[in-house]
C-alpha cells in the first residue's frame, strides 16, 4: 500500500478497514454494516419519513433509497405513504426487528474488537476527533 499524507485517503482507508471488521461479524446475520446501521437507526425513530431518516443518518435521500431497496426486498422494512405522495414513511417490520436482535451480539463483538485494538485512551481520542471532523458539515 502506498503511503500518503492525505487525510482524506487515510480516513477512507481506515473506514474501509473498520467496515470490513463489522461486515465480517455480520455476515452470518445476512446484513452489511450499512444495512444493520440503517435498521438500528430506524428502530430508534418512530416511523420516520425518508428525509428524516436520511438526515438522522447523515445520508442524502438517493443513497438512503439505494440502501433501503434490498431491505425492502427482504421484508425487513416497508415504505408507506405519508401525508402526501412526496412524503414516504419507512417502517421497520417484525422481521427487521428480529434481524437487529440477531445481529446485536455480532455488532457488539466487532465494536469490542475495534475498541480493544485501540485501547481506551486512543478510542476516546478518536471519538473526539471524529466528532470534530463531522462538525465540518455544519
Q: What is the pLDDT of residue 109?
A: 96
The per-residue pLDDT for 138 is 61
pTM of the model: 0.88
pLDDT for position 38: 96
* pLDDT mean values, one per 10 residues, the chain (138 residues): 90 96 97 96 92 91 92 96 79 97 97 96 96 85
Asked if 135 contacts 78 with a C-beta cutoff of 8 angstroms, the reply is no
Q: What is the DSSP string of the chain?
A: ------HHHHHHHHHHHHHHHHHHHHGGGT--HHHHHHHHHHHHSSS-BHHHHHHHHT--HHHHHHHHHHHHHTTSEEEEE-SSTT-EEEEE-HHHHHHHHHHHHHHHHHHHHHHHHH-HHHHHHHHHHHHHHHGGG-
The pLDDT of residue 134 is 87
pLDDT on residue 46: 86
What is the predicted pLDDT for the residue at 88? 87
CATH topology of domain 22-107: Arc Repressor Mutant, subunit A (1.10.10)
What is residue 87's predicted lDDT score, i.e. its pLDDT? 78
- Residue 85: the pLDDT is 62
41/28 Cα distance (integer angstroms): 21
What pLDDT, on the 0 to 100 scale, is given for residue 82? 76
Sequence ranges of the domains in the chain:
22-107
Amino acid at each position: 500500500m502506498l503511503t500518503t499524507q492525505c487525510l482524506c485517503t487515510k480516513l477512507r482507508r481506515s473506514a474501509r478497514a473498520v467496515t470490513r471488521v463489522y461486515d465480517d461479524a455480520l455476515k452470518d446475520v445476512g446484513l452489511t454494516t450499512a444495512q444493520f446501521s440503517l435498521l438500528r437507526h430506524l428502530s430508534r425513530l418512530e416511523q420516520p419519513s425518508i428525509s428524516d431518516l436520511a438526515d438522522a443518518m447523515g445520508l442524502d435521500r438517493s443513497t438512503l433509497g439505494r440502501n433501503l431497496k434490498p431491505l425492502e426486498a427482504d421484508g425487513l422494512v416497508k415504505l408507506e405513504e405519508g401525508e402526501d405522495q412526496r412524503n414516504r414513511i419507512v417502517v421497520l417490520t417484525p422481521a427487521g426487528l428480529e434481524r437487529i436482535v440477531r445481529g446485536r451480539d455480532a455488532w457488539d463483538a466487532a465494536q469490542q474488537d475495534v475498541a480493544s485494538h485501540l485501547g481506551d485512551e486512543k478510542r476516546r481520542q478518536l471519538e473526539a476527533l471524529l466528532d470534530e471532523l463531522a462538525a465540518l458539515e455544519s
